[in-house]
Structure 1
Amino acid sequence: MEIDGGVPLKGEIAVAGAKNAALPLMVCAALTDERLTLRNLPRILDVAILAGILAELGCEVSWDESGPALSGTMGGAGFGTGRVDSALVARMRASFLIAGAALARLGRIALPLPGGDAIGLRPVDFHLAGFRQMGATAEIEGGEVVLSAPGGLRGAAIVLPFPSVGATQNLMLAATLAKGETSITNAAREPEVTDLARCLAAMGARIDGIGTDTLHITGVDRLHGASYDVLPDRIELGTLICAAAATGGELRLAGASAELLSAALPVFEGAGIEIVAADGAITAQRGAGGLVGVDIMTQPYPGFATDLQPQAMALLSCAEGAAMITETLFENRFRHVPELQRMGANIRVVRNHAVIRGVPALHGAEVTATDIRAGAALLIAALGAEGTSTLHGVEHVDRGYDSLVDRLRRCGARIRRADAAG
């Protein structure tokens, strides 16, 4: 993909449904014989991959593309009649959420160890420890996780060592059909976790403490179908705010609210971005004083999201003064740094800290994305840079963002794709 930099982005973009909410919501279909309809699904590769996995396992999946956003209906009556395609599972980490649903519904599942972005180890130990507390056996054999609970799952008091989003979601899915009450202490509080809990409640699950760090789930005999709207993508929202500021443009981001980015917005404003929330949208532009360096530390929600760290780094690369980003969640989430350095960024990494000294401008270069958010960061950098950049690894951006290139083009971005996606 070739990007001509230096063109201010101007216009309106509707924020798509959240990738990190859509995937666990799709897994809910495996918990019921009835149909689950999800509206506002993002049109991204990860949604298609997970739909393929669910179909391989016997779920019926159909799409409605007649509206402005994608809707999907999934029927779980046949769930468990097929076998997992290990190649599909290996492509996406969120596929491991099927484990909790399968244990609850079938009492057994064998899954390949999950894949996804190469940003750190992200082990599934917390998931497996929780399943064992609920009465399941969990073994890793030849690259597969073999889970079994022939007598069904039972409620347990689970204390997570760390507020893991994936573990919280997986254990919540499992607990909905378990016998008795399950408590999850030190649960993740991300909006996507809350969205999953609300969808499960709409299907008949009994969940208390939604939005807090302690969840109480009382198992029920069965869940029913439902229709549910996927919440807007806060990471896409933050990405687009960074893109507007990096290019010196102005974007109106429809369907977004300030609550989605409660931790990041003050940081962005401190960096010199003017942000106005009104009438169901957020308008973002670089302030008259220009961009200035700010320090950022990634933390579990409600702290600054690690999924916005690379994009913020791209933005701060051209800010006045120095900034330091501290990454506390993933040990390998600075893989975009050498690529930004190719474009002229002055960044020094010491362990989990990145010290950024702003330069007047980045310049076009040939760079490669290694994961979804690194791809977004490099795209932002290229849009704001002088000259033309070539971005490889565009498939990562496609995995995480719904038609992002097309939507940016409509706001003035000069982007040419040489791959099959055009």
Structure 2
Amino acid sequence: MSAEPSARSFDSSYPDPGDMLVVRGGTPLCGEIRVRGAKNLVSKAMVAALLGSTPSTLYDVPAIRDVEVVTGLLRLHGVRVEPLGDGRLVLDPANVETADVEELNVHAGASRIPILFCGPLLHRLGRAFIPDLGGCRIGGRPIDFHLDALREMGAVVDKTADGLVLTAPDGLHGTTLALPYPSVGATEQVLLAAVLADGITELHNAAVEPEITDLIALLQKMGALITAHTDRLLRIEGVPALRGYSHRPLPDRLEAASWACAALATRGDVLVRGARQADLMTFLNVYRAVGGEFEVDDDPVDGGIRFWHPGGDLGAVALETDVHPGFMTDWQQPLVVALTQARGLSIVHETVYENRLGFTDALVTMGATIQVYSACLGATPCRFGHGGYRHSAVISGPSKLQGNDLVIPDLRGGFSHFIAALAAEGSSRVFGVHLIDRGYEDFGAKLAALGATVDGPAYERAGLRLAGGPLEAAR
């Protein structure tokens, strides 16, 4: 294992040097890994357990930081959360109680999930305290949509020095709402609040992502009455009580696409067990257009999708992100790394988050040719077109990437930096590895399973050991 990256001096602007991995690039990723339940559903399903009168069982739960955060928040509110092994989690809300503000504030900044506790806590306790919110810094993710919807349903919101206090003097009631943008988080908020509200709630311009559909299916198991109409209309008829659920979430389509892009950028061959074609249709079309190949195995137990680089040149594409069923914003960042290896000019127009292209600055330092613009370089102007936001990118390739020091900016951008380090010549030091733990289970072990050569202080935290070169999962 080369020690040359460790010889470089530590810049004072870097995060904790102990939260760093050294990646030796230039080796194709080959092998197989497995994805479990979707990060963007599992954490919301855990919150939904608060609504039930009996315990809930959630299967295929990934061991990620977001699950730890929600587990801590639920336990502070008196919910018994019991891991049973093999990814099973039992959540018993029999003794829900008001949490201590100081203890809740320990979680402030760790996640944006606390805002989704509002509806369930208002139903159970008549009061909810929400600490300051965290999450990835990829653009404005205002909670105004959430709060406006809750106010329309009868909530009173008071701001305090520590966060927000919500009450519902007369309980929550059904109403007619229209979101100015089909926000996933705001749609989840309305669903979790409306299922026990008095009367009927109609939500227009709702998000319709697969994770939303899966949350609706879970709530229906609990006894909710939810109808999904065309034109993004959800109709929720409040019921007096809900029971617990038993649910296996859809697999994580974001993680699956991330590993697919890693295979493409490194000229590798990766089988992602658990990945489902139906959840990745739009991504798969673009993947094939770029030049990547894939093969679907529909076996209900061990099935998945194999992704590989077939050799030769990759092709440039023009795409823009959008809400479902468009090309998902979380797919954009890892794909951009693969596009640095495609011949010609690729154009990416980001329409969901205004600041999600900042991660490309690090790719440029590694040798990529990427220009970022404030103009809309897509088929139609988007809501960021007149705000001066750098939300369109032109990628010229192929580029020979060189190893460098990288600081992880956010979850998906961080994975993309890892892909770049794996595709580059030489070694890279990647700082802020803990952010990857928010959404990628056993990240280090999966890298090792695919043949990546990784070293550094963070491998011990990840439960890995050095064995003959690449890291291997501790036996």
Instruction: Give the alignment's TM-score, normalised by structure 2.
Output: 0.86
Aligned to 1:340: 363
For residue 3 of structure 1, what is the amino acid of its counterpart? Answer: V
Aligned to 2:319: 296
Summarize the alignment of residues 16-415 of structure 1 with structure 2, pairs less than 5 Å apart.
16-65=36-85, 67=86, 70-84=87-101, 85-209=104-228, 213-279=232-298, 280-351=303-374, 352-415=391-454
CA distance in 1, matches of 2:100, 2:88: 25
CA contact (8 A) 1:104 1:176 kept: no
- Tell me the CA shift for residue 210 of structure 1: 7.4
SS state of the match for residue 243, structure 2? coil
For residue 397 of structure 1, what is the amino acid of its counterpart? Answer: I
CA distance in 2, matches of 1:103, 1:121: 26
Worse overlay, 163-172 or 24-33: 24-33
- Tell me the CA shift for residue 239 of structure 1: 0.3
- Tell me the CA shift for residue 287 of structure 1: 2.6
CA distance in 1, matches of 2:341, 2:33: 24
- Tell me the CA shift for residue 417 of structure 1: 3.5
Q: Deviations over 1:58-100 (max 9, x none)?
A: 11111022x2xx1111111122342351121421012211112
CA contact (8 A) 1:59 1:75 kept: yes
Q: Deviations over 1:207-265 (max 9, x none)?
A: 11179711111111111112110110010010010011111111111122211112111
Aligned to 2:377: none
For residue 90 of structure 1, what is the amino acid of its counterpart? Answer: G
For residue 368 of structure 2, what is the amino acid of its counterpart? Answer: A
CA distance in 2, matches of 1:331, 1:151: 38
CA distance in 1, matches of 2:111, 2:242: 26
CA contact (8 A) 1:175 1:218 kept: yes
SS state of the match for residue 315, structure 2? coil
CA distance in 2, matches of 1:359, 1:128: 46
Q: Which has the larger radius of gyration?
A: 2
For residue 323 of structure 1, what is the amino acid of its counterpart? Answer: S
CA contact (8 A) 1:197 1:210 kept: no
For residue 289 of structure 2, what is the amino acid of its counterpart? Answer: G
Worse overlay, 18-27 or 211-220: 211-220
CA distance in 2, matches of 1:64, 1:417: 32
CA distance in 2, matches of 1:128, 1:177: 17
CA distance in 1, matches of 2:207, 2:82: 31
- Tell me the CA shift for residue 414 of structure 1: 1.0
SS state of the match for residue 89, structure 2? strand
CA contact (8 A) 2:122 2:166 kept: yes
- Tell me the CA shift for residue 57 of structure 1: 1.2
Worse overlay, 102-111 or 344-353: 102-111
CA distance in 1, matches of 2:62, 2:36: 6
CA distance in 2, matches of 1:94, 1:265: 29
SS state of the match for residue 267, structure 1? helix
Aligned to 1:9: 29
Worse overlay, 95-104 or 378-387: 95-104
CA contact (8 A) 1:194 1:210 kept: no
- Tell me the CA shift for residue 143 of structure 1: 4.8
CA contact (8 A) 2:369 2:399 kept: no
CA distance in 2, matches of 1:157, 1:283: 44
CA contact (8 A) 2:23 2:455 kept: yes
CA distance in 2, matches of 1:113, 1:176: 26
Identify if the C-alpha distance between structure 1 residues 190 and 88 changes in structure 2 by more than 3 Å, giving closer, same or farther. Answer: same
- What are the ranges of 5 or more consecutive residues in structure 2 without an aligned counterpart? 1-20, 375-390, 465-475
CA distance in 1, matches of 2:362, 2:95: 46
For residue 109 of structure 1, what is the amino acid of its counterpart? Answer: A
CA contact (8 A) 1:189 1:211 kept: no
For residue 73 of structure 1, what is the amino acid of its counterpart? Answer: V
Worse overlay, 275-284 or 347-356: 275-284
Worse overlay, 168-177 or 144-153: 144-153
Count of aligned pairs: 419
Instruction: Give the alignment's TM-score, normalised by structure 1.
Output: 0.96
Give % identity. Answer: 40
Worse overlay, 252-261 or 155-164: 252-261
For residue 111 of structure 1, what is the amino acid of its counterpart? Answer: I
CA contact (8 A) 2:152 2:175 kept: yes
SS state of the match for residue 88, structure 1? coil
